[in-house]
Amino acid sequence: MNNLKKMIVLLAAVLMLGACSGETKNSNNTDKVAKNEGSEAPTFELVDVNGKTHNLADYKGQKVYVKFWASWCSICLAGLEELNTLAGEEQDFVVLTIVSPGFNNEKKTDAFIKWFSGVEEASNITVLLDEDGTVAKQFGVRAYPTSSYIGSDGTLIQTLPGHVSNEHIIETFKGIE
């Protein structure tokens, strides 16, 4: 009976770690992504933590990197400083992040905003609030962090779970129009 309990605890731990997975190696990496092949990105209009409204259509003509993350995800938190650096640099793409208050164990909106205001390494990051995970579901987010790459024509090129380095993000956008 003790072994059964240990197996259940071990299985639960493995499943929880899978939700916060590390960088994935995907056969659809940069060199395999055809320019702007894909389907139209789901549209959204979300408010950021400062109350400003952002509509994906406002970024038409620009490439957009979207990172879905959660305040409880240790891999997400470990990558915030790196993402903050990317968002603060001049690139040929826009960096947006999306958090889903009230969805998948994320804090409620007010609690998240209060918590995020104390995060020091995030001054350049635009955080959009996706109440109840509607947009996350549309993008097929199953784990945090997840990255989505959108072309300047609004095409969703790819969505991949796991941490992605700034170098990889920049390299991926070189193959996207």
Could you report the per-residue pLDDT of 127-164, keeping only the tens digit for each?
Answer: 999 998 999 999 999 999 999 999 999 999 999 999 99
pLDDT score for 13 = 45
Task: Quick: pLDDT tens for 20-72.
Answer: 444 433 434 444 444 577 789 999 999 999 999 999 999 999 999 999 999 99
pLDDT at 41: 93
What pLDDT, on the 0 to 100 scale, is given for residue 69? 98
Query: Which of 10-19, 29-38, 69-78, 95-104 is predicted with the least confidence, judged by mean pLDDT?
Result: 10-19
Average pLDDT of 75-95? 95
The answer to whether the predicted template modeling score (pTM) of the entire model surpasses 0.75 is: yes
| Per-residue pLDDT at 30 | 41
In degrees and rounded to multiples of 5, residue 108 shows phi and psi of: -70, 165
pLDDT of the residue at 19: 47
Domains of the chain: 21-174 (3.40.30.10)
